[in-house]
Amino acid sequence: MAYAEQAEAELLHEPNSFLTKYIWSQDHKVIAIQYSLTAIFVGLIALVLSGLMRMQLGFPGSLAFMDASTYYQAMTMHGMIMVIYLLTALFLGGFGNYLIPLMVGARDMVFPYVNMLSYWFYLLSVIVLLASFFVPGGPTGAGWTLYPPQSITPGSPGTEWGIVLMLVSLAIFIVAATMGGLNYVTTVLQARTHGMTLMRMPLSVWGIFMASILALLAFPALFVSAVMMLFDKLLGTSFFMPAIISLGQQLDHQGGSPILFQHLFWFFGHPEVYIVALPAFGLVSDLISTHARKNIFGYRMMVWAIVAIGVLSFVVWAHHMYVSGMNPYFGFFFATTTLIIAVPTALKVYNWVLTLWRGDIHLTVPMLFALAFIVTFLVGGLTGLFLGNVIVDIPLSDTYFVVAHFHMVMGVAPILVVFGAIYHWYPKITGRMMNDRLGKLHFWITFLGTYAIYFPMHYLGFLGMPRRYYAYENYDFIPQSAQDLNAFITVAALTVGVSQLLFLFNLFWSAVNGKPAGGNPWGGVSLEWQTPNTPPHHGNWGAKLPVVHRWAYDYSVPGIEQDFVPQTVSDEELEQLRQRASASKVGGPS
Amino acid sequence: MAAHPEAPEGSSSTYPTNPANPSEPPTAGWPGIARDWSSDKDAFKQVPWGKAMMWIFLLSDTFVFTCFLTGYMSVRMTTTAAWPNSSEVFALTIAGQEIPLILIAIMTFVLISSSGTMAMAVNFAYRRDRRKTAVLMLATAAFGLAFVGMQAFEWSKLIAEGVRPWGNPMGAAQFGASFFMITGFHGLHVSIGVLYLSIVALKVLRGDYERSGNYQNVEIAGLYWHFVDLVWVFIFAFFYLW
C-alpha cells in the first residue's frame, strides 16, 4: 500500500554528496564497511596486546614496562576486544549488514536510519573503550570475565576508572548491537524477495539470523550485570559484593552475591560463543559448497542444527562455573546439556565433510581457509568434550588447556572464516580480486602458525601450567622445559601476528590494483552474485527486484554448459539451457 | 502491506524444498502453519516492518527486566540482614490511619487505566477518527506522567526517611539498591513512553498518518505502552507484594 510504496521511493533516492554517501550513510553496504574497518582496527590493537603478553611469557623481563599490572591489563583488553569488539561486530555488523539484504533480495535493511545509528553507537563504544588506556590507573585488569569482587576492589589494576569505562562501553555496545540485531532479524523475517522462502536462504543468512536472535536475548544479561556492577562501584551498593576485608580494611559492602554475577555473565557469555560461531558456520558452508562446486549436504539438517545449537546455547552456561562452588547437581545438569550440543555441531562437521566428498574442489584462498576451519573447529570441539565433563574439567580448569581450547574453537576457527569470507566476497565489495599469491602465503603462515601456538598449550595445560599468571619462574610443579615451549610459542605468535600485515597490505592494495573481478568470479548461485552492478549500487537491484526460483546450492547441475544455476533461473529457463547444451553437443565438432 | 510492490503478481511459487512435487501444498493444521511461516517475502503475513521490530525489541527488553528481577530475588536470598517489610515501608498515613501500599495501589490503578485509554486510542485510529485518537493518546501520556509524578513522590519520601542505594534504616541494604534500580529503570521506560506517545499523538493531530493512509504507528506505540504496563504488574507482584 501507500506506506510501503513511499518507503520504497525513499530508499531509491540515492545520496549524492560525499558526506551522505560515505560518512552519514544509511546504505547497508557502506555501514558494513564502516563496521568492518573499525572492527579490524581494534582487532589490530588486541593483536599487539597479545604480542606484548607473549613477549613476557616467552622471554620474561624482556619488556621493561611490563609488570604484573600491565600484563593483566593487556590480557583483559585483548580478550574483551577480540570477543566483543572484533568478532561480534565483524560478523553481525560487518558480514550481517553486507550480506543479509543482498542474499535475501532486499534493497536495504528495513530501518536504514536505525542501522546507521547502530554503527555510530558502536564507534562510540570503541572510543570509550580505548579512552580507558589514557585514564589514571589505566584500563581494567580484571580478566575479560570481569568477576567481582576483584574487578572493583583496590588491588586489581584499573579499578579507579578503567572498570567504569569498560562497563559503560559495554552498555553502549549493547545498545548498538540491539539496534543492529533488530534490523537483521526483521529484515530476514519480513523483507525477503519474491520466491525467497526461509528454506531457500543461504546458510550464511541462517547463521547470522540465529546469531542476531541470540544477541538480542543474551546481551540483556550482560547489560544488567554491567548496570549492577556500575552501581556497586559508583554508588556503593552490594549486588555482587559480599562482606570482605581488602588490604586490611573492612569494606562497606555486605550481603551481595559474587556468584550472581557469574550466572548473569555466563548467561550472556555462552550464547556469545555461538553469536560468534553460528555466522562462521553459515559463511563457511557457503564457501565450501561454492568452491567444491557441489550442493551443501543435508541443507535442512544444517538449518535445524543452527536452530538447535541456538536454543541449546541458553541452557549450558554454568559449565563455565564447575569450580565456582555450585551445587554438584547443577554440574550434572549442565554437563548433560553441554554434551548434547555436540550432536548438532558434529552433524554440521559431518555435512561439511560430506559436501567435500567427491566434489570438484578448487583450492582457492577462500577454500583453503574453509578447509582449515573444519579441522581447527574439530580440534577445538574435541577438547570441548574434555572440558564439558565435570570430573575432567576440574583438574584442567584454569590451565593452558582451557586457553588452547577456547582459542582454537572460538578464536582461530572463526577468524579463519573471517579471512576466507573476506577473500571470497571481496570481489563483490570492491569489484576487484585480492592477490592470490599473497593470500596463499598469508593462509599458510596463519594456519600452520596458529597450530604451532596452540597445540603446545594443550600439553602445557596437562603439565598444570595455570592460565592468567604473569610469571612462571618460581613454581616447583612446572618443569623447566615449559619455559622453552613458551619461548617457542612466542616466536610462532609473533610470526603469525606480523604476517597479518600481508593481509592488510593485500586488503588495501587490491582495492586499487587488484585484477578486475566481474560480477560473479566464483560462479556463485546465491543472489548477491546476480546483482546488476558490481559493486552493487544504492538499492542493490536497479529497477526490479530479483525473483527466486530455487535454493542457494545448485552446483554441478547435469545437462547444461555452466556448472551452476543461479537462484534467479526459473525451471523453464533451465529447460532452455538443457536444450541448448544438448543441441550444441549434437551439432558440435566433438 | 506489500513489502515489495514491484514483485510480479500471481506468479505463485510452489512449496520450496521439493520442487519435484508441484502438488498443492497443505494449508490446514501444523503443515499449514509451517508453510506460512517459511513462505517467501514475510514470515508474519500482514505485519508491517515496524510492528515486527517492536515485538522483537519487546522480547529483548523482557530479558532485561527478567534479569533485573532475578538479580533482585537472588540478592534478597544472599543478604544476611533482614528484608524490610514492604507493606510497612510503602504505607502512607492518611487521616491518622496507616494504609499499607496505598500509593502503589493508586499508581497501579493509574497505569492500568492508561492501558485502557491506549487500547481505545488504537481502536479510534483504525476508524480514522483523528481527534479522538489524539485526545486518548494524550490522556494516556497524562496518566503516564501522573505515574512518574507519584513515583517521584514515593522516591523523595523514601529518601527523606533515609533510604539510600547503599543502605537504609529498615534492614538489608539490597532493599534500597534493588528498589531504586528496578523502579528507576521502569520509570525511565514510562518517561520515554510519555514522550513517544506525545510525539505520535501530535503527528496524528497534524494529519501525517492521514496522508500516508496508515495508522499503524499508533498501534506500535500502544504495544510499547502495554508492555511497560505489564512489566509494572510483575514489579508490583515481586517487589511490593512479596
The rounded percent of chain B whose pLDDT value lies above 70 is 88
Whether the per-residue pLDDT at A581 is higher than 60: the answer is: yes
Q: Which residue among A196, A225, A237 sits closest to B165, beta carbon to beta carbon?
A: A237
Whether the per-residue pLDDT at A188 is higher than 50: the answer is: yes
Q: Distance from first CA to last CA of chain B, Å, rounded?
A: 46
Task: Give the per-residue pLDDT at B7.
Answer: 38
Q: What distance in Å separates residue B95's CA from the closest CA in chain A?
A: 36
- CB contact under 8 Å between A220 and B53, yes or no, is no
**Which of A111, A183, A190 to mutate to probe the B interface, most B CBs <10 Å?**
A190
Whether the per-residue pLDDT at A33 is higher than 50: the answer is: yes
ipTM of the complex: 0.93
B188 vs A: CB within 8 A = no
Strand ranges inside A183-261, DSSP E: 245-246, 249-250
Contact A567, A520 (CB under 8 A): no
Q: Counting one residue from A and one from B, how many pairs have CB atoms under 8 Å apart?
A: 194
- CB contact under 8 Å between B6 and A237, yes or no, is no
Mind listing the pLDDT tens digit for each residue in A119-166? 999 999 999 999 999 999 999 999 999 999 999 998 899 999 999 999
What does the domain layout of chain B look like in residue ranges?
14-46, 49-241
B18 vs A: CB within 8 A = no
Q: What distance in Å separates residue A236's CA from the closest CA in chain B?
A: 5
Task: Give the per-residue pLDDT at A506.
Answer: 97
- CB contact under 8 Å between B213 and A1, yes or no, is yes
Whether the per-residue pLDDT at A216 is higher than 90: the answer is: yes
Q: How far apart are CA A544 and CA A541, in angstroms?
A: 6
Grid cell 582496527 in the structure block, residue: A41
At B96, the pLDDT band (50, 70, 90 cuts) reads confident
Residues A328-349, mean pLDDT to the nearest whole number = 94
At A440, the pLDDT band (50, 70, 90 cuts) reads very high
Contact B174, B79 (CB under 8 A): yes
Residue type for A359, please? G
Please state, rounded to an integer, the average pLDDT across all residues of chain A.
93
Whether the per-residue pLDDT at A264 is higher than 70: the answer is: yes
Mind listing the pLDDT tens digit for each residue in A268-310? 999 999 999 999 999 999 999 999 999 999 999 999 999 999 9
Residues of A in contact with B182 (CB under 8 A): none
Q: Which residue among B7, B71, B165 sits closest to A235, beta carbon to beta carbon?
A: B165
Q: Which residue among A8, A193, A236 sits closest to B5, beta carbon to beta carbon?
A: A8
Q: Which residue among B47, B67, B80 sits closest to A264, beta carbon to beta carbon?
A: B67
Whether the per-residue pLDDT at A3 is higher than 70: the answer is: no
Whether the per-residue pLDDT at B226 is higher than 70: the answer is: yes
At B2, the pLDDT band (50, 70, 90 cuts) reads very low
Task: Give the per-residue pLDDT at A196.
Answer: 94
Whether the per-residue pLDDT at B15 is higher than 70: the answer is: no
**Which of B1, B4, B175, B220 to mutate to probe the A interface, most A CBs <10 Å?**
B4
- CB contact under 8 Å between A237 and B59, yes or no, is no
Residues A506-529, mean pLDDT to the nearest whole number = 95
Whether the per-residue pLDDT at A187 is higher than 80: the answer is: yes
Task: Give the per-residue pLDDT at A473.
Answer: 83
Q: How far is CA A168 from CA A116, A129, A172, A257, A538, in A?
A: 21, 8, 6, 21, 35
Residues A449-453, mean pLDDT to the nearest whole number = 97
B contact residues 90-109, partner A, Cβ 8 Å cutoff: none
- CB contact under 8 Å between B173 and A547, yes or no, is no
At A26, the pLDDT band (50, 70, 90 cuts) reads very high
Q: Which residue among A6, A186, A227 sits closest to B56, beta carbon to beta carbon?
A: A186
Distance of CA A8 to the CA centre of its chain: 32
Task: Give the per-residue pLDDT at B71.
Answer: 96
Strand ranges inside chain B, DSSP E: 91-94, 97-100
Contact A344, A265 (CB under 8 A): no
Whether the per-residue pLDDT at B17 is higher than 50: the answer is: no
Least confident of A19-23, A172-176, A361-365, A578-582: A19-23
Least confident of A216-230, A285-299, A317-331, A421-435: A317-331
CB under 8 Å, gap of 24 or more: what pairs does A464-469 form? A464/A399, A465/A399, A465/A400, A466/A398, A466/A399, A466/A400, A467/A398, A467/A399, A467/A400, A467/A402, A467/A403, A468/A72, A468/A75, A468/A143, A468/A398
Task: Give the per-residue pLDDT at A21.
Answer: 79
The rounded percent of chain A whose pLDDT value lies above 70 is 97
Calculate ∠ Cα A521-A523-A524, nearest 5°: 105
Least confident of A172-186, A333-347, B32-46, B107-121: B32-46
Task: Give the per-residue pLDDT at B14.
Answer: 38
Least confident of A144-153, A473-482, B161-170: A473-482
Q: How far apart are CA A227 and CA B180, in angstroms?
A: 12
Q: Which of A225, A396, A409 lies closest to A322 in space, CA to CA?
A: A396
C-alpha cell at A36: 568492518
Q: Which of A584, A471, A347 lies closest to A70 in space, CA to CA?
A: A471
Q: How far apart are CA A330 and CA A262, in angstroms?
A: 14
Please state, rounded to an integer, the average pLDDT across all residues of chain B.
87
C-alpha cell at A555: 552446483
Contact partners, residue A425, CB within 8 Å, separation at least 6:
A95, A98, A99, A528
Residues of B in contact with A186 (CB under 8 A): 49, 52-53, 56
What does the domain layout of chain A look like in residue ranges?
24-186, 533-590
Task: Give the per-residue pLDDT at A515.
Answer: 95
| CATH of B49-241 among 3.30.70.270, 1.20.120.80, 2.40.50.140, 2.100.10.30 | 1.20.120.80
Whether the per-residue pLDDT at B34 is higher than 90: the answer is: no
At A13, the pLDDT band (50, 70, 90 cuts) reads low
Residues of A in contact with B177 (CB under 8 A): 231, 235, 237-239
- CB contact under 8 Å between B166 and A182, yes or no, is no
Task: Give the per-residue pLDDT at B38.
Answer: 80
Task: Give the per-residue pLDDT at A68.
Answer: 94
Whether the per-residue pLDDT at B40 is higher than 70: the answer is: yes
Residues of A in contact with B16 (CB under 8 A): 197-200, 551
Residues of A in contact with B4 (CB under 8 A): 4, 8, 191, 193-194, 545
Whether the per-residue pLDDT at A247 is higher than 90: the answer is: no
Whether the per-residue pLDDT at A47 is higher than 80: the answer is: yes
Residues of B in contact with A235 (CB under 8 A): 165-166, 177
- CB contact under 8 Å between B71 and A199, yes or no, is no
Q: Search chain B and give the residue with CA nearest A253.
A: B166
Q: Which residue among A3, A5, A217 sits closest to B63, beta carbon to beta carbon?
A: A217
Task: Give the per-residue pLDDT at A474.
Answer: 83
Q: How far apart are CA A110 and CA A72, in angstroms?
A: 42
Mind listing the pLDDT tens digit for each residue in A553-575? 999 998 898 899 999 999 999 99
Whether the per-residue pLDDT at B204 is higher than 50: the answer is: yes
Task: Give the per-residue pLDDT at A362.
Answer: 96
Q: Which residue among A4, A237, A256 sits closest to B78, beta carbon to beta carbon?
A: A256
Contact partners, residue B156, CB within 8 Å, separation at least 6:
none
Calculate ∠ Cα A60-A473-A450, nearest 5°: 55
Q: How far apart are CA A13 and CA A2, in angstroms?
A: 17
**Which of A1, A3, A544 to mutate to probe the B interface, most B CBs <10 Å?**
A3
- CB contact under 8 Å between B64 and A548, yes or no, is no
Q: Which residue among A111, A299, A545 sits closest to B4, beta carbon to beta carbon?
A: A545
At B242, the pLDDT band (50, 70, 90 cuts) reads confident
Residues A491-502, mean pLDDT to the nearest whole number = 97
Whether the per-residue pLDDT at A4 is higher than 50: the answer is: no
Residue type for A4, please? A
Residues A398-402, mean pLDDT to the nearest whole number = 96
